[in-house]
Amino acid sequence: MTAFKSFPARGRTIIGALFIGGLAACLCAAEPQAGASAPTHSVAASASATNAVPPAVKAQLTGAELYSIHCNRCHPERYPTERTAAQWKTIMLHMQVRANLPVKQSRLILQYLQENSGR
Amino acid sequence: MNKSLKTGRLTFAPGLALGALLLALPTAATAEVSDADFNALKETVQRLSEQVQSLTQTNQLVRQQHEKDVQQLKDLQTKLAETQQTAADAEQAQAQPIPKVPMDEATVNHNFQILGDAEVQYVNSDHQNGSFALADFAPVFLYRGGENILFEAGFDATLANNAPNSPGYNTTFNLSFAQLDYVMNDYMTLCAGELLLPLGTYAERNAGWLNKFPDDPLAVDALLPESGVGAELRGAVPFGDSGKFLNYSAFVVNGPGSADGTGNAGSLDLGGNVGIRSDGAVANLHNAPAGGGRLGVFLPFSPRYDLELGISGEVSEWDNAGSHLWAAGVLDAALHLGPNFEAKWQYMLTRYGSDDLGLIRQQGWYAQVSYKLAGLNLELPGVNNLELVGRYDNLSNAYDSANGVFSGTRRYSVGAIYYLTSALLLEADYEFINSNDSAQPSTQLILQISYGF
């Protein structure tokens, strides 16, 4: 068998850095504001929109729908009342990173959980 | 006031008429006055007298009403003064500092949380005595330091019997991951620390109560590192408003190392190379970081009907001399058809060079399906809490460094999960194993109780 030779280490490091840097630059250019906090749609607003259009052309998923889509992919759903609003805020940040969810969808889920939380 | 003056004039007019009449009387007294005229005059005087009396009474009533109006006006002026005083007091109070009140908990800027899971497992393999194989407690500590910063660390404390001919038991306490997450914007999060590596999805989603089987797929355990020390950029970009998104991860970690510093095949240590040597020096054992990443796409068709696909990989030097590469490639897929059916698949392939055996190719995959009987809508006690699971997994050409041989293993697993609650699970798994590795049993029963918190 032949040995599995590597590229020069420095070359790989440079290529990796360029890849990550380029990706970061593209994404920063696409969304310059950092850490915007207000969701673009409220759950209530989305719910009313849901009633106004047929499901096939629904404009925006609600927080409750996103919650049932994403959480159930890995574990049985937990009741929103199991945690307080502040606890959900921390847990959703953890889940957003762990499941690599879009931030806007994560905010809608958090809004749903907080509105129905134990306190 | 005008009304009062008008009334006064009305009172004065009949009096004036009466006076004029009296003045006229002396001249008339000299003349003859008939009885009819006298009576008419008398009636006139009486009528005027009655009018004067009526007007006097009216005047008195008007005066009384006027006095009441004046009193009401005074009362209103008093109330106005009081209202003006109240408003002035309120304005003054508003200018003073607002006293502190307890904050709404949802707005607090930090929060500490503990999540995690715990398992107790019983194993009965053929040709061996059944036993409680392990007790595992795996807490995850979360600390949110603001809107966009999270520190998270997972530990794994496991109690297990010692090896044969050794007394007692041992307890291991491992740091599964410890990372700082900074959400830079809607599309990018920086993570640093000991990271769960996104090689497939299993490493990041395999906590005891998340996994539908009590043990890991063979190839995941044998071929892929679960974590690495380094930094990572990750994020997700939605397309459309129907929940679809692309997500990515790109990481640089120390990578695997060599257990004894050589480049021999049996020395590959996927979990090693954390940057601190046994002599205390801080060093990457092969002086080059590993790089890797994952690109995934999530496609929901409707709530709970979705498909997720991913491709991932990692490349690194692994021997101290830096003359050999280790590389891994992974494909993963997950399908949900309603709330009750799930299917997962993951293919793993690794290559690494060695001094003694040259290029070593290993691969394996697993596929599993599960179905919750609640979907059948049977009105039988307990059935709705039951989920049936099945899995096939294999591992090809795995190098056994202890014995210096290559082996292959195929395993068929069937089982069931009973949900006591949404977070407390009873798992039963029966495995049929076909392997040329003599250490593997041919059948195995595993029972586990899992709790997620």
Tokens 């009466």 belong to residue:
B18
**Residue B267 sits in the same domain as residue B344:** yes
pLDDT band per the 50, 70, 90 thresholds, residue B104: low
Give contacts of B302 with chain A, Cβ < 8 Å: 55
| Residue of chain B with shortest Cα separation from A11 | B288
Q: Which of B75, B96, B128 is the last residue of a domain?
A: B75
Minimum-distance CB partner of B106 among A32, A73, A86: A86
Among B177, B187, B227, the residue to mutate for chain A (most A Cβ within 10 A): B187
- Specify if B159 maps to a domain: yes
Tokens of B245: 């998104």
**Smallest Cα distance from B273 to chain A, Å:** 16
pLDDT on residue B271: 85
pLDDT band per the 50, 70, 90 thresholds, residue B207: confident
Q: Are B425 and B251 in contact (CB under 8 A)?
A: no
**Residue B186 sits in the same domain as residue B56:** no
**Residue B352 sits in the same domain as residue B289:** yes
**Residue B222 sits in the same domain as residue B328:** yes
Most confident segment among A18-22, A59-63, B300-304: B300-304
pLDDT on residue B280: 81
In the predicted structure, residue A80 carries a pLDDT above the cut 70: yes
> Is the pTM for the entire model greater than 0.80?
no
The per-residue pLDDT of chain A, averaged, comes to 67
**Residue B39 sits in the same domain as residue B127:** no
**Residue B68 sits in the same domain as residue B201:** no
Residues in chain B: 453
Q: Which of B348, B363, B378 is the last residue of a domain?
A: B363
pLDDT on residue B18: 57
Each residue's pLDDT tens digit, B325-363: 999 999 999 999 999 999 999 999 999 999 999 999 999
The per-residue pLDDT of chain B, averaged, comes to 88
Distances from the Cα of B411 to the Cα of B224, B306, B363, B392, angstroms: 18, 28, 14, 6
Of the listed ranges B2-11, B49-58, B392-401, the least confidently predicted one is: B2-11
Q: Which of B363, B390, B415 is the last residue of a domain?
A: B363
CB contact under 8 A, B291 and A9: no
pLDDT band per the 50, 70, 90 thresholds, residue A51: very low
pLDDT band per the 50, 70, 90 thresholds, residue B137: very high
In the predicted structure, residue B262 carries a pLDDT above the cut 60: yes
Each residue's pLDDT tens digit, A90-110: 999 999 999 999 999 999 999
pLDDT on residue A58: 57
Strands (E), B239-357: 245-253, 257-258, 268-269, 290-302, 305-317, 325-337, 341-352
Domain hosting B147: range is 115-363
pLDDT on residue A6: 42
- Own/partner contacts of B401-408, CB < 8 Å, gap of 24 or more, are B401/B265, B401/B266, B401/B267, B401/B268, B402/B266, B404/B266, B407/B435, B407/B436, B407/B437, B408/B435, B408/B436
Tokens of B386: 């039951």
pLDDT band per the 50, 70, 90 thresholds, residue A76: confident
Q: Are B429 and B214 in contact (CB under 8 A)?
A: yes
CB contact under 8 A, A90 and B113: yes
pLDDT band per the 50, 70, 90 thresholds, residue B57: very high
Minimum-distance CB partner of A23 among B250, B304, B354: B250
- Specify if B54 maps to a domain: yes
| Residue of chain A with shortest Cα separation from B326 | A4
Q: Which residues of B19-56 are buried (b: 16+ CB within 10 A; e: fewer)?
A: eeeeeeeeeeeeeeeeeeeeeeeeeeeeebeeebeebe
Each residue's pLDDT tens digit, B30-39: 557 888 889 9
> Higher-confidence residue: B15 or B33?
B33
In the predicted structure, residue B22 carries a pLDDT above the cut 70: no
CB contact under 8 A, B423 and A78: yes
- Specify if B90 maps to a domain: no
Give contacts of B322 with chain A, Cβ < 8 Å: 6, 9
| Residue of chain A with shortest Cα separation from B352 | A4
Mean pLDDT, rounded, for B92-96: 76
Among B114, B182, B186, the residue to mutate for chain A (most A Cβ within 10 A): B186
Count structural domains, chain B: 2
**Residue B149 sits in the same domain as residue B277:** yes
**Residue B22 sits in the same domain as residue B142:** no
**Residue B157 sits in the same domain as residue B278:** yes
Give B11: exposed, middle or buried? Use CB within 10 Å, 0-12, 13-18, 19+.
Answer: middle
Give contacts of A78 with chain B, Cβ < 8 Å: 422-423
pLDDT on residue B15: 55
Kindly list the domain boundaries of chain A, sorted by start residue: 46-119
pLDDT on residue B433: 96
CB contact under 8 A, B250 and A6: no
Q: Which residues pair with B125 in a beta bridge?
A: B444
Give contacts of B357 with chain A, Cβ < 8 Å: 1
